[in-house]
Structure 1
Amino acid sequence: MAWIQITTDVAEPVAEPLSDMMTEIGAVSVTFMDAQDEPIYEPELGTTPIWSLTKVMSLFDAETNAKLIVETIQANMPDLKDHYFKVEAIEDKDWVREWMDQFQPMQFGQNLWIVPSWHKAPNAQAINLMLDPGMAFGTGTHPTTAMCLEWLDTNPPAGKTVIDYGCGSGILALAAQKLGATKVSGTDIDPQAIQASEQNAERNHASIDFALVQNFNSEPVDLLIANILSGPLKELASEFERLVKSGGELVLSGLLTTQADELIEHYKKFGFELSELATTDEWARLSGHKV
């Protein structure tokens, strides 16, 4: 089946009402995209961020009268009366295959690979984590996740106890166990993340305890890794002080390079010396130990 795509750029307050209108008149899907390269680095928890200028892309059946769709939108939303709508035909494709082809095995450091289930591991002798892209955050494609995986590959936690705080897909917990950790646990505020982490652990034949933050309980560990955002990282400093052994290691990521110095100083108050800074683009990773 072929499709008709109708696209327009609107201000933030208009995006949601326009999406609702397009759905009401027959759109099979509506997607929001950034219309002017405006990154949203740290949205408020529980919010769905929309850009100040948002590209609204709607997909309709090929038999749809696009002119009538645009006229209906403009009649019901007068502010868009003179607005430009781009209409284009979209060729029929195997969308699932096209999506799958975007994800290839990825190497982190010397020995660690993330391999989608539909691919063969490029190096059978390496440490291969079978992980498919999903709804939970963390499949290695984001720089902050990549920097944490590279740290683990360079500093394998053999014989250590580890917490993955803000586990997302469980990728860092899985990597830690595959790299020799004796006991690994993970936690997150999102039930979907816990479910995804448990499924990924089962797929990789890994025994890891995952629990929601409100149900999470752990003795102090040798290594805690947290790949979240700078705001929560700052708030969690006292909790991390409790969860990391004296002399234990702490790895923090998910922050911007401009936020690193403030976080380093903040964690000093809780007994942490974060002396190592790594960066990729505008993102940073801090690592160090508890004094």
Structure 2
Amino acid sequence: MRELVLNCAQSQAEAWSDALLEAGALSVSVEDADGDTEHEQALFGEPGTEPDVLAWQRNRLVALLADGDDPAQLLASLDGLAGPAPGQADWFLREVPDADWVRLTQSQFGPIVVGERIWIVPSWHRDDAGLPLAGARDGIVRIELDPGLAFGTGSHPTTHLCLEWLAAHLQGGETVLDYGCGSGILAIAARLLGAGPTRGVDIDEQAVLATVRNAATNRVEIEACLPDGLPEGTSQVVVANILSNPLKLLAPMLSARVAPGGRLALSGVLERQADEVCEAYAPHLPLQVWAARDGWVCLTGQRA
């Protein structure tokens, strides 16, 4: 394989990236052309948001080419987009060495420790020496979960907050509803922490399938379904790790799903959004901030 590497200005980066992909490039990445120098710039936004500027002053586009791709044809597709196509001095080709891409990708995902009790272990680390066995020390919970299409692999601060909340509050035997279950990680953790009958609900059918598959891998029973398949009734614990806007819209429904004396835990909420989410739930079930991390909060409340 080969990579086409070319320089461009900030105003060209997005248009040229899209054009290269449409012309047949397998992938395109944008890098700071001044990276690792005194002129390097950081691009970042608030947690959960994109930065205001999506490129640097001077950028390097790296396009991965399929075998047989003509770089001249790809470069021609850029002509007239935010200026003329790159000149001969502005681009070059380089070879991409053969590699085991699956193994390289897997190497980026190691075991994750959440709090004092929970370990999230990708399947390719299943037999690694030094990892604790589930229940072997201080009630350790070990979840086997591979990064995939469904949201919730255990790396995001909101997932950590929900997992730690479950570890701190589950007493054993509670019925649990995980609304917006994604990969099923919260529902699986609840069962491994001793919860009773547990349901996972998601609007994405692929997430429902992932939850069922991951539950089987971890040898726990979880009923997973789309919202239309959720039967009437309440649960002693309801968790939802989504985002603030859908959480506000779901306030009447999620609150009604909490059994008398039961608890509700919400995350996916930025610290600056906490008050407005609490306000949306106030008529139904009072909430307060339980914990915060990296700009995100976990909100919790108990039904009288």
TM-score, normalised via structure 1 length: 0.84
C-alpha distance in structure 2 between counterparts of 1:59 and 1:86, whole Å: 13
Alignment of 1:73-222 (within 5 A): 73-75=77-79, 77-81=80-84, 87=92, 89=94, 90-119=96-125, 120=127, 122-124=131-133, 125=136, 126-222=140-236
CA contact (8 A) 1:160 1:223 kept: yes
> 2:288 aligns to what?
275
TM-score, normalised via structure 2 length: 0.80
- 1 or 2, which has the higher strand percentage? 1
> 2:36 aligns to what?
none
Superposition RMSD in Å:
3.1
Deviation at residue 207 of structure 1 after TM alignment:
1.0
Deviations 1:182-239 (A, max 9, x none): 1100101111111111110111111111011122224111000000000011011100
1:5 and 1:215, CA in 2 relative to 1: closer, same or farther beyond 3 A?
farther
C-alpha distance in structure 2 between counterparts of 1:192 and 1:177, whole Å: 21
Unaligned residue ranges in structure 1 (runs of 5+): 44-48
After alignment, is 205-214 or 57-66 more displaced?
57-66
1:111 and 1:277, CA in 2 relative to 1: closer, same or farther beyond 3 A?
closer
Rg bigger for which structure? 2
Deviation at residue 273 of structure 1 after TM alignment:
2.5
C-alpha distance in structure 2 between counterparts of 1:111 and 1:209, whole Å: 24
Identity of aligned residues (%): 37
Unaligned residue ranges in structure 2 (runs of 5+): 33-40
CA contact (8 A) 1:9 1:53 kept: no
CA contact (8 A) 2:45 2:51 kept: no
Q: How many residues align?
A: 281
After alignment, is 191-200 or 79-88 more displaced?
79-88
Deviations 1:41-84 (A, max 9, x none): 668xxxxx897535865211477554x24641233x44241669
CA contact (8 A) 1:164 1:172 kept: yes
1:280 and 1:8, CA in 2 relative to 1: closer, same or farther beyond 3 A?
farther
> 1:261 aligns to what?
275
CA contact (8 A) 1:12 1:51 kept: no
Deviation at residue 157 of structure 1 after TM alignment:
4.3
C-alpha distance in structure 2 between counterparts of 1:87 and 1:94, whole Å: 25
